[in-house]
Amino acid sequence: MGNRSQVIGFIAFIAISLSPGWALAQSDGDVLSAETLTTQKTLEVHKSNRAPKIDGDLSDKVWQEAAHFEDFHQIEPEEFAAPSRRTEIWVTFTSDALYIAAYMHDEAPERLRASQLIHGSLMRSDDTLAIILDPFLSRRSGYGFFTNPNGVRREAIFENVNQLNFEWRGIWQVESRVVNDGWVTEIEIPFKTLNFNPNLDTWGFSAMRRIRRENEEVAWTSKNRAVNPSSLGTVSGLQGLEQGLGLDILPSLSFIETYDHTEGRGDFDTEPSVTAFYKITPSLTAVGTANTNFSDAPIDDRVVNLSRFALFLPEQRDFFLQDADIFRFGGIEGNGTPFFSRQIGLSDTGEPVQLNLGGKLTGRLGSLNLGVLDVIQSAHYNNDGDYVDRSNLLVGRASMNILGESTVGAIFTSGSPNSNDENMLGGVDFNYRNSNFFGKTLKTNLWAQQTATEGDSNNAAAYGLYVNLDGGQGLWFDSWYQALEDNYDPHLGFANWTGIHNYGLVAGYTFRFSNEWIRWVTPVMVYEMTRDEDWRVQSERKAFQPFWLQTAAGYEYRLRIRHEREVLDNSFEIVDGVDVSAGDYGGFRTNLMFKSPDSKLLSVFSEWDLGEFYGGHRYSFDTRMDWRPNKHFLLGLGYAHHEVDLPEGDFITRLATVRANVAFSTKWSWRNYIQYDNNTDTAGINTRVEFSPYAGRAFVFVFDQSLDVFEDWNVHAAETQGTFKLSYTLRY
């Protein structure tokens, strides 16, 4: 396993075995037939000899010659109905970038919702425009670019057809302004930011607009109330696109001051790092990083975990998010994931671990999607106090586009980031999708994996099947089966429960209405069973959701009643000092949820859950409120309360959060996040000041203060850390 030539050979074998022939790199990819494309909307665009000025002013003569369309239709509340307001789009391009202008007509611009002013903010509360691109016309993947009347940027990649990863960061430019009859925006998307097939002059394309106060969404194209790569129209005529040298260099310099109040000592570090992106071809990108520092990455939200299993947390670090969609496997999210990037660069206690060197190759060659990641991680101590040697961690992923919207692929991992054990994994998957299945969308994922740890490969397999049918209304269902054997152990993946067979069915029916009161109602039935390898019951869940409804104004209400059964072969510690004994537990629980529209000045989410719990009772209450008096200020308050009465003991957990954000402009922001939980009796204060004059350039100051909270609210400082980081992307 230490023979690197075997690893490289394995990856080469994957690529060759999935290739349709030696001329793969010359292929135009798995493009839909001309007959199929005639059923989609098409826009022919023309190259401009000069770029428009991105200033939110549509009087530029470039737009007078650009391709234009305005044939939008509703997707909410009634798909294909006429929009309440007119939307116009213009599209053109130069050798270097794609340009889009939009005019969102509105007779009452003073009623537009534009509360977000910080780039990257979630814009569910605002009027928005979204541009969706599929540069490979694969109908499986793509990019999303979002903006609001303030010109805020938010971008994402599609990790599969209908799942967006908003943690991805791309360099692009936008300017918006409110005018006397609506709002306008201008967008520049450099071709250096995108991967694309240079032999293909037709891309998947659509535009979507949200009119927030009406709870209305309109789009150029859609299918089953969704705008995603499978439902896009096309733009044609994209020829002569250039990426220059295709080289982006991102040097950064961090100054980190840390003071441990308990030990009474401090440290100061200066940490330079560099990351370089090189497009070998317009569709294939190589990334190299040295002395990688994640000190400015967003902090994780604290979560009170009352289960016996570890939590699956989202990735937030840019290096791992670039082309993250390529590494997705089998549609798995959580237990059984073969590659989970948070295993790299973080110890098993969540502390950062330096990456000495790292390299990544991602992209597409015709119908082949390819990803290879190789990093060298520094030595460190794990949670057990064992010294973990410097390790070389490798991931290889390849998949091929087949059958119009489907893929077949393989994955390979090697390395152990938090132990000195040798560990490998191999897996294959088939992901079928048909968005024209009797007016609905049918998705099926079939996968199998095998791990080997220190020569032990017995009972170390995992395999599963997932089937989903949905059409936005009417009958829908999710069904699945997965098995994870006792010794299945993906050291570069995620597995929090092995030695099991898990299967289930979630079925519902969505009723949609065209009245002034109710938008939709969805009753749901749930059944889930988990058995051990001897087919003895380990857990069982039955649930009935009489209704989950949304009003025409956007308010949501939900009632759910469930019966849960847990069979514990061993006790586990649920909180410090309280163990849940082994036994067979069962009981009913009731859940109520209320959510107000995000567009309100004060938006509220509340959830109540009460009933039987491990032989006792539990009452839970979780509420979050966001107050947005204007686009410059946000105050968010959250409180989660769990009151538990068990035969082994009683306890109460509390988690309180405060967010206070000040946006001086789209370039300057000051964000504050305070978290406290009584389970650890600690509080954390995170302050982040950021100046980003342009996408890809940032000056960030991060201040972290951890506090120990004792009885009678006696608070002592535990650790203080200040980080100042400069980063500037150089593009060639």
List pLDDT tens digits, range 571-588.
999 998 899 999 999 999
Nearest-CA neighbor of 56 among 192, 169, 148?
Answer: 148
Supply the pLDDT for residue 294: 65
DSSP H or E stretch at residue 709: strand 697-710
pLDDT band at residue 16 using 50, 70 and 90 as cut-offs: very low
Least confident of 163-167, 496-500, 526-530, 551-555: 163-167
DSSP H or E stretch at residue 44: strand 42-44
Least confident of 75-89, 240-254, 308-322, 620-634: 308-322
Spatial separation of the C-alpha atoms in residues 241 and 238, rounded to whole Å: 7
Supply the pLDDT for residue 105: 97
pLDDT at 36 over 70: no
DSSP E strands, 81-215: 87-93, 97-105, 128-134, 143-147, 154-160, 163-165, 173-179, 182-190, 202-211
Supply the pLDDT for residue 2: 43
DSSP state of 5: H
Amino acid 423 reads N
**Which residues, 6 or more positions from 513, have their beta carbon under 8 angstroms from its beta carbon?**
519, 520, 521
Segment 66-92 shows an average pLDDT of 94
Supply the pLDDT for residue 8: 39
Which of 161-170, 253-262, 478-487 has the largest mean confidence? Answer: 478-487
Dihedral angle over CA of 261, 263, 266, 267, nearest 10: -130
Amino acid 298 reads P
**Which residues, 6 or more positions from 16, have their beta carbon under 8 angstroms from its beta carbon?**
none
Segment 436-442 shows an average pLDDT of 88
Segment 367-373 shows an average pLDDT of 92
Inter-residue contact 150 to 174 (CB < 8 Å): no
pLDDT band at residue 184 using 50, 70 and 90 as cut-offs: very high
Spatial separation of the C-alpha atoms in residues 272 and 590, rounded to whole Å: 53
Measure Cα distances from 344 to 275, 317, 494 in Å.
Answer: 17, 11, 12
Q: Which residue has the higher pLDDT, 449 or 160?
A: 449
pLDDT at 34 over 70: no
Segment 247-256 shows an average pLDDT of 83
- pLDDT > 70: percent of the chain: 93
- pLDDT > 90: percent of the chain: 61
Inter-residue contact 341 to 315 (CB < 8 Å): yes
Tell me the backbone φ, ψ of residue 398, rounded to 5 degrees: -140, 140
Provide the pairing of β-strand 730-731 with 440-453.
unpaired
pLDDT at 638 over 90: yes
pLDDT band at residue 198 using 50, 70 and 90 as cut-offs: confident
pLDDT band at residue 597 using 50, 70 and 90 as cut-offs: very high
Spatial separation of the C-alpha atoms in residues 355 and 375, rounded to whole Å: 7
DSSP H or E stretch at residue 55: none
Six token digits for residue 16: 């060759």
DSSP state of 226: B
Supply the pLDDT for residue 349: 75
First-to-last alpha carbon distance for the chain, in angstroms, is 39
Q: How many CB atoms neighbour CB 732 within 10 A?
A: 11
- The residue length of the chain stands at 732
645-657: per-residue pLDDT in tens? 999 999 999 999 9
Supply the pLDDT for residue 296: 60
Spatial separation of the C-alpha atoms in residues 288 and 356, rounded to whole Å: 11
pLDDT at 286 over 60: yes
Q: What Rg do the C-alpha atoms of the chain give, in angstroms?
A: 26
DSSP state of 82: P
Supply the pLDDT for residue 247: 87
Supply the pLDDT for residue 711: 77
DSSP state of 261: T
Supply the pLDDT for residue 297: 66
Spatial separation of the C-alpha atoms in residues 197 and 281, rounded to whole Å: 9
Q: Which residue has the higher pLDDT, 696 or 92?
A: 92
What is the CATH topology of the domain spanning 31-236? Immunoglobulin-like (2.60.40)
To which residue do tokens 């088939």 refer?
A: 430
Q: What is the pTM of this model?
A: 0.82
Segment 104-125 shows an average pLDDT of 92
Supply the pLDDT for residue 561: 97
Write a three-state SS string for 443-491: EEEEEEEEEEECCECCCCEEEEEEEEEECCCEEEEEEEEEEECCCCCCC
pLDDT band at residue 20 using 50, 70 and 90 as cut-offs: very low
**Which residues, 6 or more positions from 415, have their beta carbon under 8 angstroms from its beta carbon?**
391, 392, 393, 394, 423, 491, 492
Where are the domains positioned within the chain? Answer: 1-30+320-344+382-496, 31-236
Segment 202-208 shows an average pLDDT of 96
Least confident of 7-16, 17-26, 149-158, 231-240: 17-26
Supply the pLDDT for residue 350: 73
Measure Cα distances from 442 to 191, 224, 225, 471 in Å.
Answer: 33, 11, 15, 9
Least confident of 214-218, 355-359, 382-386, 543-547: 382-386
Spatial separation of the C-alpha atoms in residues 315 and 305, rounded to whole Å: 19
Q: Which residue has the higher pLDDT, 43 or 311?
A: 43
Supply the pLDDT for residue 17: 40
User: Mean pLDDT for the chain?
Assistant: 88
The per-residue DSSP string of 227-248 comes to: -SGGG-EEEE---S---TT-EE
pLDDT at 685 over 70: yes
Six token digits for residue 504: 């289930």
Segment 23-37 shows an average pLDDT of 36
